[in-house]
Amino acid sequence: MGTFLRIEPDAATDGAVATVRLLRPRISGTDPRVPEELTAAAERLDADPAVRAVVLYGGRRVFGSGADVKDLAERSPAEVDAYTGRLHTALDALARIGKPVVAAITGYALGGGLELALCADLRVAGEGAVLGLPEIELGVIPGTGGTQRLPRLIGAGPAKRLILTGARLTAAEALRIGLVDETVPDPEVYEAALRTARRFAAGPTAALAAAKRAVDDGLDLPLGAGLDLERRQFTALFATEDQRIGMRAQLDGTRPAFLGR
């Protein structure tokens, strides 16, 4: 339990799914507890072998909002640089959790809130959600991943349109451009995200981690190096028990019961 977040284990999976529950909507700002707690949570979840999938959830009304303008307005460039550096470290740690991460988006996901959601592998949004990067309206730009993670997800053109105009998107609009992967009625967002996470938690843990690493790391590599990375990840999985379980089940015509090892 922290000031900004807490980690909640999912009783239905004996803790194989963990929820990072955001207790305060502000993601950006200069409160050092925000990056400290996010980094600590990401490192803990990544290192815990019992956790096999993660949900990011802000509550029924707000997933995460943008900068505290009153706090930031008079900060010096050096102060802002120091803080955003810590927040970059925190969001990178979340994005690099070696397990599937699902964001459950309700209400507003604006500015730093959307940048946090972009660290997830999949995003489930309520039909009433509003998403955007409105920093341009403050005379600045997204500073904690928005200009980099968003174009990698939806393409440079659509990302520039959102960033340059500061437009807010409805959940339906976000779904059409691939910013979110699923929309559901607002009261069902968290349960929908849990269902997806539980499906991942029952899957082949090492293969899911390898797939995530191959895609994420491969995006930053030339094609040849990316293909080599893929081959190494593929080959290494033949030392796992889940590979043997999965292939044997395919040959036997049964459903695999993966063990996560």
Decide: residue 154, CB within 10 A, 0-12 exposed, 13-18 middle, 19+ buried.
middle
Q: How far apart are CA 42 and CA 38, in angstroms?
A: 6
- 38-to-3, 42, 183, 223 alpha-carbon distances in Å: 11, 6, 26, 33
* Interacting residues of 159 by C-beta distance below 8 A, sequence separation 6+: 147, 150, 151, 153
- Positions marked catalytic: 115, 135
Rg (CA), the chain: 19
